[in-house]
Amino acid sequence: MNDHVQTLDAPPSAWQRFLDSHLWHSFTRDRVAQFSLLVFVAYGLMALLAPLIAPYNPYDPAQIDILNAEMPPSWEAGSDPAFWLGTDAQGRDLWSTILYGTRVSLAIGLCAVALQAVIGIVIGLLAGYRGGRVDSLLMRFADVQLSFSTMMVAIVVLAVFQATFGTELYQELAMVMLILVIGIAEWPQYARTIRASVLAEKKKEYVDAARVIGFKAPRIMFRHILPNTLSPILVISTVQVANAIIAEASLSFLGLGMPVSEPSLGSLISSGFEYIFSGSWWITVIPGAVLISLVLVMNLLGDWLRDVLNPKLYKG
Amino acid sequence: MIAFLIKRVVQAIIVMFVISLVSFSIQDNLGDPLRELVGQSVSEAERQELRDEMGLNDPFLVQYARFAKNALQGDLGTSYFFKEPALEVILKKLPATLELVLGATLIIMLLSVPLGVYSAIKPYSLFSRAVMGFSIIGISVPVFLTAIGLIYLFSIELGWMPSFGRGETTQILGFWGSGFFTADGLAHLVLPCISLASIMLPLFIRLIRAEMMEVLQSEYVKFAWAKGLSPRRIYFLHALKNTMLPVITVGGVQIGTMVAYTILTETVFQWPGMGFLFLEAVNRVDTPLIVAYLIVVGAIFVVTNTLVDLIYGLVNPTVKLAGKK
Amino acid sequence: MALLEVRNLDVRFGLRSGEVQALRDINFSLERGERLGVVGESGAGKSVLGFSILNLLSQPGYIAGGEILFEGQNLAAMSPKQLRSIRGNRISMIFQDPMMTLNPVLTIGQQMVECLLAHRKISRKDARRIALQKLKQVQIPSPETRIDQYPHELSGGMRQRIVIAIGLLMDPDIIIADEPTTALDVTIQAEIMDLMLELCERNSVALILITHDLGIVSQVTRRAMVMYAGRIIEQGPTREIINDAQHPYTQGLMNALPQMAIPGQRLNQIRGSMPPLQNIPTGCAFNPRCDYVLDVCHRELPGFTRSGGCKVACHMVAQMKLEEEAAVHALEVK
């Protein structure tokens, strides 16, 4: 009844529609989702504003004093009030380094997933809309790519590049390489899901209508079909960013990712691992906790979105 | 059966061909075998002569054919570092890695099925909620952090478990050094296997739960209830058998994926397996060893995928392994 | 004592958005060997009724009140173990879509034998012999090969025969058949229906036939119930309901049948559609679609009025009956 009245008066604004949506209603009731979003936004702000918040610049060698190395956090004995989370093995302020590290990890995760999404959506739309031989070729390609483990491919590719370029040059390119490798390796996730929803949408009348009116294929795909595949894209993206951050951390841990001079959370953990046996646990544990909580809230958000939006995701 | 095998063999050949091509281009572009052999002190003219002699100036295809021919005979070159045939070096480390994967797989299979099934049958119970909570934390913790955490807790703080290496191994079948038969070997296996399993276990629990819940809603399960069967038979025969079909397919791929994660686990625990060796080889630019690793891992992928398909065909009656109709 | 007697059955779904009443004051009885038709649009609660009789509702549905008396025992209050001894044994069900009813990974034989073994203490060999015998009864050709095949190797009609064979396996007292032929090819629908009826007749099994097809009901059942929005709005002898429907909804259903339309003209559809269960109007659930709607229809849920052999839940019918009685009374007084 209500919808009816509204359409008569005036089209509801996007904001109004959002407030009326199932998504928003479920969000107002779900404590876990609220908490997760809060934490995620906090991390996002920390990453974005790192240069403003951080008391020191960890990239600036002039601000680093090796004599400050391995200072414990402020609540432990022998700490220095200047470094409330302590310092790492090179004498960098851990709090500042974590802020910058979160920035690097999130940036790599988001960019890699953006790349995955662009490749995957274009291929998925193309395969689903065109069908036939194009479709089977592209999907076979996706199958092959998926049958190799992403992690394996990433390790091998990065290892080979590192060996070819030499460590020096590689470290300069690390960020770009990580984004490219993680971005390219996981596109089939998107492509398959988008293809499945395109196939479902294609059967519906509005697509036929658009075709009859004489719209061209790209316009139909991007203007008409794509908006209807948004909910699976949203669900996948949340989980994929979490996965990309884990992948980046793992690669950095192996020494194939960000260099220690410009650490992500993963390389920071890696650099601290050697010192865990000598009692300097905080260099590993604190960035580890940051990494886990960041990934955890993203996974919780992804789960919540999947429950609420309940899109048809591609299994397997 | 024969048709199935032929299909698999053809697929395996294609995959191995691609891997060999990739491996060869790595070998071709990475490092200069000449320098490794003769060092810097040889003149440019002599180098050219040597290159011709070794066939390094031949066309790509000729070089690849030579590489493939040698590879088929098990000759993947000599490791620069170990000065031994690369394949032998890798194969010596294979048992350590496979035992790690085997242990982790056992943990995953023994835990994921009962936990996944239980949380599907009783989705609202406290225990199921706890399982689901742990599983989402589980997928959020990177494997190396689990490993570090386990070492910190059980090796450093409590001192219960060894933190690195394989411990005491026994020789079985003449060549396989196994850690499964001594107390020390088993103790060394525990933490690495748990960390390796930690990444896959939550995925499997969630997958089994989701599939099982879907199957429990199906008409044939309702019909089974209407037939008056016991819950045990309905859950563990009617529902579970259907649940396991997609789980086997996904699971097969994931077990292949686990080989990649052994690199991480082996690094943290300094486990003397292939992954650890591979990373060392990367740091030393030991090309033949890198290539040998890729080919062995590729073979493992092919074998597991074939096995998974076979098991799937045996469990699922709608797939015919045999050629007959 | 009736074989099955349902009294004041009340079934609800506990949804997150609140409770939904799926069935309300359901009252009927079934005699041994009788055939009862349950008619209604999809969503009227026919299938829910079928499942509730066996107490087979899956979460979040539950029986909120009433009794389901089978030979005097209340199925709604039975332990799961007792229920199991009745399900598939004394009362069995035939589902709508034979493609989905049989478990794809078990052979026909396994699915038949397990049912026999669950209810009788017999050997696996004897169970197989009985299963074969039942397959012959439902006219499956070469049952010895079919029994070891998987469902996907058989056609839809063949599978429904097997489902019927499983339904009849324990020689039950009641079979609840939920749209047993709807999912089949039109050409074999009659064949399967005839087979089912013949087997019920021969073994004097009572049949509850749930369908949206008034034609089938009029052909095969002696008594019928019409359901609307979770309630039985009219029940009685099938012939009376078909020939002289009282409730405006039943009349609408009859008029909507293709054979009631004049060729070349539009079918006489009932305007509007059935309300979703979360959103049933107050008073009579049919009031927004009814041509004879009265004031009271918006306020009060109609009770049952006897009219001939039928019970009808309609204010208009009740009022007409009253007027009629008054007129008769007036005549008598004169």
- The reply to whether B257 falls in a domain is yes
- At residue B174, the pLDDT reads 64
**Residue B40 burial class via C-beta count within 10 angstroms: exposed 0-12, middle 13-18, buried 19 and up:** exposed
CB contact under 8 A, B290 and A291: no
Determine the distance in angstroms separating the CA of B44 from the nearest CA of chain A, rounded to an integer. Answer: 22
Please report the DSSP string for B282-304 in residue order. HHHT-HHHHHHHHHHHHHHHHHH
CA separation for the pair A71, A91 (Å, rounded): 8
Q: Which residues contact A260 (CB under 8 A, 6 or more apart)?
A: A90, A267, A270, A271
How far is the C-alpha of B152 from the C-alpha of A276, rounded, in Å?
8
Residue A197: exposure state from Cβ atoms within 10 A (0-12, 13-18, ≥19): buried
Residue B198, in any domain of the structure: yes
Mean pLDDT by 10 residues, chain C (334 residues): 90 82 91 91 87 87 91 91 91 89 92 92 93 91 91 89 90 91 84 89 91 87 91 91 88 81 74 82 87 87 87 89 87 79
Cβ neighbours around C141 below 10 Å, total? 9
Closest residue in chain C to residue B244, using alpha carbons only = C105
- Residue B62: its H or E element: helix B60-72
Q: What angle do CA C42, C43, C46 make, to 5 degrees?
A: 80
Rounded distance between C-alpha atoms, residue C243 and residue C249, angstroms: 14
Q: Which helix (H) or strand (E) holds C313?
A: strand C310-313
Give backbone dihedrals phi and psi of C172, rounded to 5 degrees, phi first.
Answer: -75, 170
The CATH T-level fold of domain A31-61+79-314 is: MetI-like fold (1.10.3720)
C269 backbone dihedrals φ, ψ, rounded to 5°:
-75, 150
Residue of chain B with shortest Cα separation from A268: B145
- What are the pLDDT digits (tens) for A119-168? 998 888 888 877 778 888 888 777 777 766 778 888 888 887 877 777 77
Could you tell me if residue A311 is left (phi over 0), alpha (psi between -120 and 50 degrees) or otherwise beta? beta
C100/B217 Cβ within 8 A: no
- Chains in contact with C, counting 3 or more C-beta pairs less than 8 Å apart as contact: B
Residue whose pair of structure tokens reads 């906790």 in the numeric block: A289
Single-letter amino acid code for the residue at C80 = P
In contact, B12 and B302? CB cutoff 8 Å: yes
What is chain A's mean pLDDT, rounded? 79
pLDDT in tens, B56-76: 667 777 778 887 788 777 777
Contacts of A300 (CB under 8 A, 6+ apart): A32, A33, A36, B136
Q: Is any Cβ of chain B less than 8 angstroms from the Cβ of A272?
A: no
Which of C89, C102, C105 lies closest to B241 in CB terms? C105
Which phi and psi angles does C281 have, rounded to 5°?
-65, 155
pLDDT at C114: 93
B242 closest CB neighbour out of C85, C95, C105: C105
pLDDT in tens, A290-307: 999 999 999 999 888 888
Instruction: For chain B, say whether A147 makes contact (Cβ under 8 Å).
Output: yes
Residue B134 lies in a domain: yes
Among candidates C210, C229, C243, which has minimal Cα distance to C309? C243
Looking up tokens 């049949």, which residue turns up? C207
Q: Give the pLDDT band of residue A314 (cuts 50, 70, 90).
A: very low
> Where is B268: in which H helix or E strand?
helix B240-269
CB contact (8 A) between residue B225 and residue C97: no
Q: Do A152 and B152 touch (CB under 8 A)?
A: no
Give CA C53 to chain center in angstroms.
Answer: 10
Instruction: Give how far B316 is from chain C: nearest CA, Å.
Output: 6
Q: Are residues C150 and B226, on separate chains, in Cβ contact within 8 Å? A: no
| Predicted pLDDT at B224 | 93
State the CB neighbour count (10 A cutoff) for residue B235: 21
Give the CATH number of the domain where residue B156 resides.
Answer: 1.10.3720.10
Residue B227 near residue C118 (C-beta atoms within 8 A) = yes
Could you identify the residue written with the tokens 């479920």? A26
Helix axis angle for B240-269 and B274-284, nearest 10°, is 50
Q: Answer whether A127's CB lies under 8 Å from A135's CB.
A: yes
The answer to whether B227 contacts C104, with C-beta atoms less than 8 Å apart, is: no
Q: Is residue B267, in this structure, part of any structural domain at all?
A: yes
Residue C64 neighbours by CB under 8 Å, 6+ apart: C10, C11, C12, C21
Q: Which positions in chain C touch B315 (Cβ < 8 Å)?
A: 105
Task: Take residue A272 and report the two structure tokens written for it.
Answer: 């601290």
Q: What integer pLDDT is reported at residue A7 of this predicted model?
A: 42
Domain-wise residue ranges, chain C? 4-228
Residue to test with chain C: of B215, B227, B240, B318, most C Cβ within 10 A? B227
Q: What is the 3-state secondary structure (H, E, C) of chain A?
A: CHHHHHHHHCCCCHHHHHHHCHHHHHHHHCHHHHHHHHHHHHHHHHHHCHHHHCCCCCCCHHHCCHHHCCCCCCCCCCCCCCCCCCECCCCCEHHHHHHHHHHHHHHHHHHHHHHHHHHHHHHHHHHHHHCHHHHHHHHHHHHHHHHCCHHHHHHHHHHHHHHHHCHHHHHHHHHHHHHHHHHHHCHHHHHHHHHHHHHHHHCCHHHHHHHHHCCCHHHHHHHHHHHHHHHHHHHHHHHHHHHHHHHHHHHHHCCCCCCCCCCCHHHHHHHHHCCCCCCCCHHHHHHHHHHHHHHHHHHHHHHHHHHHHCCCCCCC
pLDDT of residue C173: 93
Comparing A85-89, A112-116, B88-92, C268-272, the range with the smallest average pLDDT is A85-89
Pairing of strands C35-39, C223-228: parallel
Nearest-CA distance from B229 to chain A in Å? 31
Spatial CA neighbour of A139 closest among A190, A201, A200: A190
CA C11 – CA B224 distance, rounded (Å): 22
Q: How far, in Å, CA of A201 to CA of A145, rounded?
A: 26
Report chain B (325 residues): mean pLDDT per 10 consecutive residues: 73 79 74 58 71 69 80 78 84 88 91 93 90 90 87 81 73 69 79 89 91 90 92 91 86 77 88 88 82 84 80 77 41
DSSP C281: P
Report chain A's terminal Cα–Cα distance, integer Å: 41
Q: Looking at the 3D structure of chain B, how many domains does it have?
A: 1
pLDDT above 50 (res A94): yes
- ipTM for this prediction: 0.88
Has residue B230 been placed in a domain?
Answer: yes
CATH class for domain C4-228? alpha beta
Tell me the residues of B at the C interface, defined by beta carbons under 8 Å apart: 217-231, 233, 237-238, 241-242, 245, 315-318
Residue B155 located in a structural domain: yes
Contact check, Cβ <8 Å, C105/B217: no
B227, B242, B315 ranked by CB distance to C88: nearest: B227
Cβ-based neighbours of C8, under 8 Å, separated by 6 or more: C25, C26, C27, C65, C66, C67
- How many Å lie between the alpha carbon of B318 and the closest alpha carbon of chain C? 7
The residue range of the domain holding B184 is 86-324
Q: Which residues of A touch B26 (CB under 8 A)?
A: 160
